[in-house]
Structure 1
Amino acid sequence: MSGKIENGTPKDLKTEDELISAAKSLLDRAFKSHHSYYGLCSTSCQVYDTAWVAMVSKTTDNVKQWLFPECFHYLLKTQAADGSWGRLPTTQTAGVLDTASALLALLSHAREPLQILDVSPDELGLRIQHGVASLKRQLAIWNDVEETNHIGVELIVPALLSMLEKELGVSSFEFPCRDILDKMHEEKLSHFDLEKVYGKPSSVLHSLEAFLGKIDFDRLSNHLYRGSMMASPSSTAAYLIGATKWDDEAEDYLRHVMRDGAGHGDGGISGTFPTTHFECSWVLATLLKGGFTVKQIDGDALRGLSTILADALRDEKGVIGFAPHTADVDDTAKALLALSLVNQPVSPDIMIKVFEAKDHFTTFGSERDPSLTSNLHVLLSLLKQPKLSQYHPQILKTTLFICQRWWGSDHHVKDKWNLSHLYPTMLLVEAFTDVLHLVDGGKLSGLFDENLKCKVGLSVFQAVLRIVLNQDDDGAWGGYREQTCYAILALAQARHVCFFTHMVDKLQSCIDHGVSWLKSRRLHSQDLTWTSKTAYEVGFVAEAYKLAALQSAGLEVPAATVGHSLTSAVPSSDLEQYIRLVRKTALFSSLDDWELRASIIESSFFVPLLQAQRVEIYPRDNIKIEEDRWLYDMMYLSLLGYQTDEYMEAVAGPVFGDISLLHHTIDKIIDNTRLNSAGTNGSVRNGNGHQHESPNIRQVEGTLTRFTNSVLKHKDVLRSSSCDQDTLRQEFRTFMHAHATQLEDNSRFSKQDSGDVFSSPEQSYFQWVNGTGGSHVACAYSFAFSNCLISANLLQGKDTFPSVTQKYLISSVMRHATNMCRMYNDFGSIARDNAERNVNSIHFPEFTLCNGMSQSLDERKKRLSQIATYEQACLNRALEALERQSQDDAGDCRGLKEVRKLKIVKLFCDVTDLYDQLYVIKDLSSNMK
């Protein structure tokens, strides 16, 4: 095999030759499919656009007829047994749009059958009846309206429902998310000046069907380009329906789509037509990034597709869209990338001038919701530029934005243009692997600080690890062909990165398993993963992804070196020590070695980030505290919790002396935080008799104020519901007072002559552990902090637990988790607490006697373990009750957010459980004396 292969050496020459032949065939067929006037399109048929084309009628010689009866018959053929159209497991919105539009088309034909006589009114009426019933059922459980990435849904669905209500003679469709939809609709319209539709082209032209009866369609003819309204068959159909003057060019366009589109004359209409630039760019870039070389697949087709892109960039002055005259940064950047890969680089300067914003690149020049994949494509295109240093500012900008989006995404990252989280994940792995390679080689020297390099490395590691962990048993990802290709391509790229050396066999096993599944699937089984108004597949692009996945999987990769400059990810003796420690816990004892090792390496990326923030709240100079032993997956709040424990014992207690003054100071700080948040212009409460504080006290008060602000004034806490903020404030106050009270308890215990029995407790053990003892650990306020994050980031500022029953149950969960944490903490720190004279659970008198007999240390530890096991059982029952109540309260409208909320709660409890198991194995706390 001649020619250099960028991504490695082929394993199987026969397979390699077959893949090269298949890739050249794909390029040849794509190029030959390009129409000189209408362009190229292999997008699948969509019910939504088919329905709108079915509603186009034309009057000729005073005879009115449906212009495309094939589309009406297509709708009849594609109606499901339950009365619906287009329902998908990946999106509820697509089913709502398809069913509503198809139902509207059937109602239009029932009202005016015109020349279609082979469908009886009874059959059509029955189909309409089933369609209405299905639509109502779908609307009743529609819960992804806010998360949907379908174009114009907030404009289109209200318009469709209004038209259906008129046709059916009903007052209104009522459903749980109607208010949300109406608010989205009002918000969208507030940004529109419909008078401007007649002037400069805008995105409204892509969804004209939403404006039937609201604008003058006769004034829009100047916006037609080669017969289409912004390459949208549904919008073009709406133009013909709404205009009083017939337009032959628009009719010819729709007839071409009918005949030469994916339906091939059977009545099915593509949702977007053409997609010339999109398909040329994606096919070329996907093949060449996937391991094929220009030399291997060179020919008239490759050169022809490249010329189409180069000519488009020239004719449209440096920026293009998925089709002519639909400019966006996504297609522009992908075209620039493709041309760089075929050694025909084009300057990105115009793209930068048109689309660069303050902290990211916009897709269309103005938008409310930035696109992650658009910015990934910008980054990929810039990294391939010959004069790399010229674009350092934009490379830094996009890298920062991508990191922020990855870090800010809960669970799966999502994007506008694809339903699968694997698509942006794949692009992130590709782009950041290229970034790390350039960082290693010094070509981005001085551009990234250590924190950003850590975040880039961590993002890649998390992306790949999650792909591996989410593979199905049969080798696929979600049972979808194209999405499985995304995953394989990302894993193949990861083999070059040194972070994954320990799991390279696992990566290859996942790749091989995925390839076996791919080869067992028929190519034409659709994966409707791309989004426009509904969802669709792009045939040539899907084929390119499959060939690229197979090609990349079959390449032999040399020793992985990418990322070697990031020392935080290099396994060390400390990591090996932590692996051995965590392996001893019940939670991780059964985990595969590669998975446990991967988790520990992932956590190691956080170490430099935590170290950078470690002294932001609590200063460490001149404080006698031994080296800390943090588990590497602790986040900042956990860090603060441990530091608070140290600081209160080592600094605050000795400085104040009079603990009542410390209690007063805690209240003053927290109350002042609340007053300031309420808008008191910074006024604070006076000291109430403590105006003459020493400099040391003022210094401690300043430190505790910084800590309090970092928790209670955290930006996401301030965006959470008032109820969740109040709970956090209450738990935080309790936590701080518990530390002060514990200092008093420890002082009395240390003054005892000897012995390990606390002779002067002010409460029973039950009261203590449910009060001061349990509240002393950071579990409860951290739990409340987590709930604020859920409220702010997942629930748009609504109560995380909306009913009083849920609030009670989550409080129960928090209390049992807190008690359990305290008990296991004490179990693992008996020797230290005895030496330092800190009150421990087993020091309470109740543990010393049983049936009148003195209990040994081992017997007391056994009793403590029994009580902790009971608390664990209570915690599990409370979690189960919370889940049942959440389901009952949400009913049929229980959505992904509700499920995700409970998963986060369970994760928090699992982390607490891990700490508890580690406390038993090894005391994690710093020695103070």
Structure 2
Amino acid sequence: MGPCTMTWVREQASALVAEMTGDPFGSFSASVYETGRVVSLMPSLDGHDERVRYLLRQQRPDGGWGGPGLYGLAPTLSAVEALLRQPGEDARIAAQRGLESLVDNGMVPDTVAVEIIVPGLVQEINAQLGKALAVPGGMTVETLAKLREMMDRGLALPDKLLHSLEAFGSSARGAGFVEPTEYGVGCSPAATASWLGDGKAHPYLAAVQDPETRAVPVAAPLATFERAWVLSTLAGVGVPCTVPGDVVDWLAAEFGESGVAGGVGLPPDADDTAAALHALAKLGRPRSTDTLRGYRVEDHFATFADERTPSTTTNAHVLQALGASREGHREVMSKLALWLRDRQERDGSWQDKWHASPYYATVCCAVALAEHGDECTASSVRDAVGWVLANQRPDGSWGRWAGTFEETAYAVQILLRTNVSHEAIPEAAARGCAFLFQNQDAEHPPLWHDKDLYTPLRIVRAEGLAAMYLGLANAEVARLLAYSR
């Protein structure tokens, strides 16, 4: 635990930015789903035995893998399918326990490409077992079958599906419409392995492995995503840290006609574009928001083309980017603010498809509305603060399933960035900040949505530093923090 001082926060933030600037891949947690696919698709890749052991160690006591409830569906299917291919009793028993853990008991979370990943894995498992495991969650194989038929006819898939190319089985191998980069295919180890096929080495697959477990992240490299979020968060609350000019220049240079992509091999999207625009504006390097126009859909913005479900947090980030630009987008911003207001839950929170926790969606939406909303959205911001105050845990933390560093950071920011006056805020924020200071070295459970739940480690760290800075900058909260020590 570090000292509770502004100097310490500034030094920690500067060190985080410096570390991030020197890493072209980004710092992200390992993925059971993605590692299982690499185990299955490329057993000849160096580190195979270590990856198998990683899967065995990650199995939960109930036999499943991954997050709570049906968040564990895709990683469990991936691990089972991979372990069924491995020799040895340990792998066989683990796979059987995994199968027994599967329960079709509700709506499957809206994670990336879940509608094709889950049916594809069920088909692969059935092919090995010679039986018909049902496709859970009310899903069907029709979408996957149509896309595979397209590929077999030599037609290209939409760019966004390259990230999940492994779902297409043998149809993906050497597909002619795929143009790999030095970072593989689709910003994904599994997609890269599926396109290459077993026995073909690629330096990217070696570079993204954890040096000890040899597990891989769900996506890499994600330097643009990481840098945009970290810089937007720190600059957005005014943390006085050192930001090298090189990293600002790099982020500005990433823009193309359609904005920026989160990582190499992904298509540009409104979310990363908005976050990068907001960061650059806050760092004194504003650029035109014209790149966002192509994502507008009536009164809101799509994250990318042909989006199944709109994202509240993408639209909150767009609202912040438009507001920070000072380009006079008042009419667009007013409509967007009302769109966000109308998607607030009855309890005062928001939900979103890019994160498992309502605290992430709520901090994005409440802060954007507090900064760029009007009297029509003020009550939404107050309701969000009320929801946070009503859900603090006895130890001062917040969290969907348990109190976490990440979710507590979001809750503290909601309390201290929204300009809502409430007598309970200082004490609640001080207790939250105390939890943050005491739990800086805690493990951060995966909460972010991709094909599997994952943790963007530096982004979470930045959110915590931002919350601690806000607490120390607030005289009443800082007084209560000092008293508590």
Structure 1 length normalisation: TM-score?
0.48
Give the whole-Å Cα distance in 2 for the aligned partners of 1:271 and 1:396: 36
Give the whole-Å Cα distance in 2 for the aligned partners of 1:476 and 1:364: 34
Question: Residue deviations 1:610-648, cap 9 Å, x none?
Answer: xxxxxxxxxxxxxxxxxxxxxxxxxxxxxxxxxxxxxxx
**Correspondence list, 1:882-901, <5 A:** none
What SS does structure 1 have at the residue aligned with 2:91?
A: helix
What SS does structure 2 have at the residue aligned with 1:53?
A: helix
Q: Tell me how far 1:160 sits from its aligned partner.
A: 0.6
1:169 to 126, 130, 135: 130
1:430 to 358, 362, 367: 367
1:181 to 139, 142, 149: 139
Give the whole-Å Cα distance in 1 for the aligned partners of 2:258 and 2:122: 41
**Correspondence list, 1:432-451, <5 A:** 432-436=369-373
Code of the aligned partner of 2:257: K
Give the whole-Å Cα distance in 1 for the aligned partners of 2:457 and 2:32: 17
Question: Residue deviations 1:684-716, cap 9 Å, x none?
Answer: xxxxxxxxxxxxxxxxxxxxxxxxxxxxxxxxx
Question: Residue deviations 1:822-880, cap 9 Å, x none?
Answer: xxxxxxxxxxxxxxxxxxxxxxxxxxxxxxxxxxxxxxxxxxxxxxxxxxxxxxxxxxx
Structure 1 equivalent of residue 275 of structure 2:
334
Q: Tell me how far 1:411 sits from its aligned partner.
A: 7.0
Structure 1 residues 484, 162: CA separation in 2 closer, same or farther (over 3 Å shift)? same
* Pair 1:264 & 2:211 matched: yes
Give the whole-Å Cα distance in 2 for the aligned partners of 1:549 and 1:31: 22
CA contact (8 A) 1:232 1:271 kept: yes
CA contact (8 A) 1:149 1:415 kept: no
Code of the aligned partner of 2:164: S
Structure 1 residues 139, 132: CA separation in 2 closer, same or farther (over 3 Å shift)? same
Structure 2 equivalent of residue 276 of structure 1:
223
Q: Tell me how far 1:398 sits from its aligned partner.
A: 1.4
Give the whole-Å Cα distance in 2 for the aligned partners of 1:56 and 1:287: 40
* Pair 1:554 & 2:472 matched: yes
1:406 to 317, 320, 344: 344
Q: Tell me how far 1:522 sits from its aligned partner.
A: 4.2
Structure 1 residues 189, 345: CA separation in 2 closer, same or farther (over 3 Å shift)? farther
Question: Residue deviations 1:769-811, cap 9 Å, x none?
Answer: xxxxxxxxxxxxxxxxxxxxxxxxxxxxxxxxxxxxxxxxxxx
Give the whole-Å Cα distance in 2 for the aligned partners of 1:155 and 1:200: 13
* Pair 1:139 & 2:106 matched: no
Structure 1 equivalent of residue 331 of structure 2:
393
Code of the aligned partner of 2:274: A
Structure 1 residues 201, 72: CA separation in 2 closer, same or farther (over 3 Å shift)? same
Structure 1 residues 308, 385: CA separation in 2 closer, same or farther (over 3 Å shift)? same
Structure 1 residues 253, 509: CA separation in 2 closer, same or farther (over 3 Å shift)? same
Give the whole-Å Cα distance in 2 for the aligned partners of 1:329 and 1:193: 30
Structure 2 equivalent of residue 531 of structure 1:
449
Give the whole-Å Cα distance in 1 for the aligned partners of 2:30 and 2:367: 31
What SS does structure 1 have at the residue aligned with 2:366?
A: helix
Structure 1 equivalent of residue 116 of structure 2:
155
Give the whole-Å Cα distance in 1 for the aligned partners of 2:406 and 2:172: 42
Larger relative contact order (CA 8 Å, sep ≥ 6):
2
CA contact (8 A) 2:156 2:177 kept: no
Structure 1 equivalent of residue 290 of structure 2:
349
* Pair 1:75 & 2:55 matched: yes
What SS does structure 1 have at the residue aligned with 2:343?
A: helix
Q: Tell me how far 1:349 sits from its aligned partner.
A: 0.7
Structure 2 equivalent of residue 309 of structure 1:
251
Give the whole-Å Cα distance in 2 for the aligned partners of 1:192 and 1:338: 40
Give the whole-Å Cα distance in 2 for the aligned partners of 1:465 and 1:57: 50
Code of the aligned partner of 2:425: L
CA contact (8 A) 1:56 1:240 kept: no
Give the whole-Å Cα distance in 1 for the aligned partners of 2:144 and 2:392: 38
What SS does structure 1 have at the residue aligned with 2:310?
A: coil
Structure 1 residues 65, 272: CA separation in 2 closer, same or farther (over 3 Å shift)? closer
1:48 to 20, 33, 37: 33
Structure 1 equivalent of residue 78 of structure 2:
101
Structure 1 equivalent of residue 426 of structure 2:
508
Question: Residue deviations 1:79-137, cap 9 Å, x none?
Answer: 23433222x23xx2331211111111111123xxxxxxxxxx33333233323222xxx
Q: Tell me how far 1:144 sits from its aligned partner.
A: 2.7
Give the whole-Å Cα distance in 2 for the aligned partners of 1:406 and 1:189: 36
Q: Tell me how far 1:189 sits from its aligned partner.
A: 6.3
Structure 1 residues 165, 361: CA separation in 2 closer, same or farther (over 3 Å shift)? same
Structure 2 equivalent of residue 490 of structure 1:
414
Question: Residue deviations 1:740-780, cap 9 Å, x none?
Answer: xxxxxxxxxxxxxxxxxxxxxxxxxxxxxxxxxxxxxxxxx
Code of the aligned partner of 1:545: E
Q: 5+ residue gaps in structure 2? A: 477-485
What SS does structure 1 have at the residue aligned with 2:354?
A: coil
* Pair 1:477 & 2:401 matched: no
Structure 1 residues 530, 188: CA separation in 2 closer, same or farther (over 3 Å shift)? same
Give the whole-Å Cα distance in 2 for the aligned partners of 1:199 and 1:162: 23
CA contact (8 A) 2:21 2:247 kept: yes
Percent of residue pairs bearing the same amino acid type = 28
**Correspondence list, 1:442-841, <5 A:** 453-454=375-376, 456-478=377-399, 479-494=403-418, 496-497=419-420, 500=421, 503=422, 505-556=423-474
Give the number of the structure whose alpha-carbon radius of gyration is greater: 1
2:241 to 261, 279, 297: 297
Count of paired positions: 469
Question: Residue deviations 1:534-593, cap 9 Å, x none?
Answer: 1011111011011001001111369xxxxxxxxxxxxxxxxxxxxxxxxxxxxxxxxxxx
CA contact (8 A) 1:73 1:267 kept: no
* Pair 1:205 & 2:183 matched: no
Give the whole-Å Cα distance in 2 for the aligned partners of 1:464 and 1:287: 21
Q: Tell me how far 1:254 sits from its aligned partner.
A: 0.8
What SS does structure 1 have at the residue aligned with 2:181?
A: coil
What SS does structure 2 have at the residue aligned with 1:154?
A: helix
Give the whole-Å Cα distance in 1 for the aligned partners of 2:95 and 2:325: 56
Structure 1 equivalent of residue 480 of structure 2:
none
CA contact (8 A) 1:333 1:377 kept: yes
Question: Residue deviations 1:661-706, cap 9 Å, x none?
Answer: xxxxxxxxxxxxxxxxxxxxxxxxxxxxxxxxxxxxxxxxxxxxxx
Q: Tell me how far 1:187 sits from its aligned partner.
A: 5.8
Give the whole-Å Cα distance in 2 for the aligned partners of 1:349 and 1:159: 39
**Runs (4+) of structure 1 moved beyond 4 Å?**
64-67, 187-193, 195-198, 409-412
What SS does structure 1 have at the residue aligned with 2:325?
A: coil
What SS does structure 2 have at the residue aligned with 1:369?
A: coil
Q: Tell me how far 1:206 sits from its aligned partner.
A: 1.3
Give the whole-Å Cα distance in 2 for the aligned partners of 1:518 and 1:65: 40
* Pair 1:26 & 2:16 matched: yes
What SS does structure 1 have at the residue aligned with 2:287?
A: coil
CA contact (8 A) 1:229 1:236 kept: yes
What SS does structure 1 have at the residue aligned with 2:103?
A: helix
Q: Tell me how far 1:343 sits from its aligned partner.
A: 0.4
CA contact (8 A) 2:17 2:242 kept: no
Structure 1 equivalent of residue 320 of structure 2:
380
What SS does structure 2 have at the residue aligned with 1:212?
A: helix
CA contact (8 A) 1:55 1:66 kept: no
Give the whole-Å Cα distance in 2 for the aligned partners of 1:200 and 1:310: 29
2:298 to 352, 358, 369: 358
CA contact (8 A) 1:47 1:85 kept: yes
2:95 to 128, 136, 148: 128
Structure 2 length normalisation: TM-score?
0.90
Code of the aligned partner of 2:169: L
